[in-house]
């Protein structure tokens, strides 16, 4: 479905790159001074800088995040304000990248998420998608 709104049901979701305009190294080159200034004024912004730096890990695979949610629609909304992946996603969008949010409805999303991450790791030398730390 094109531009479908995620359901309020639980499930597993993924974010993938459709098209990337500007190289991640150039994005980081432009945003790093801003984040360094923020961090110098309020130390807690260091975490935010670390989250945005995860875009450096984006490589050949266009799948950049896998997660689970009690409400797929709620998580989709949360990505714009309170989710750790929201900051790197915002940076990519700001610099012209096109991303997609896809999902699978699942009554017990924990198991499906674990399965999907396992498959991903098997195919990518034990690594998780770029915007994930665990």
Across the range 98-117, mean pLDDT stands at: 96
Quote the pTM value.
0.90
Each domain of the chain, given as residue ranges in start order, spans: 11-123
Residue 134: is its pLDDT beyond 80? Answer: no
Instruction: Convert the pLDDT of each residue in 22-59 to its tens digit.
Output: 999 999 999 989 888 988 998 888 888 899 999 999 99
Long-range contacts made by residues 113-116, C-beta under 8 angstroms, separation at least 24? Answer: 113/12, 113/66, 113/67, 113/68, 116/12, 116/14, 116/66
pLDDT in tens, 15-24: 999 999 899 9
């Amino acid at each position: 479905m094109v531009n479908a709104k995620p359901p309020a049901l639980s499930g597993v979701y993924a974010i993938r790159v459709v098209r990337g305009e500007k190289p991640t190294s150039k994005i980081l080159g432009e945003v790093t001074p801003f984040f360094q200034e923020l961090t110098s004024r309020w130390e807690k912004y260091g975490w935010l800088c670390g989250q945005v730096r995860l875009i450096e890990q984006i490589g050949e695979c266009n799948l950049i995040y896998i997660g689970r949610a009690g409400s797929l629609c709620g998580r989709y909304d949360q990505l714009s304000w309170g989710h750790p992946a929201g900051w790197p996603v915002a940076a990519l969008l700001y610099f012209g990248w096109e991303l997609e949010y896809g999902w699978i409805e699942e009554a017990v999303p924990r198991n499906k998420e674990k399965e999907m991450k396992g498959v991903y790791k098997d195919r990518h030398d034990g690594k998780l998608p770029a915007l994930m730390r665990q």
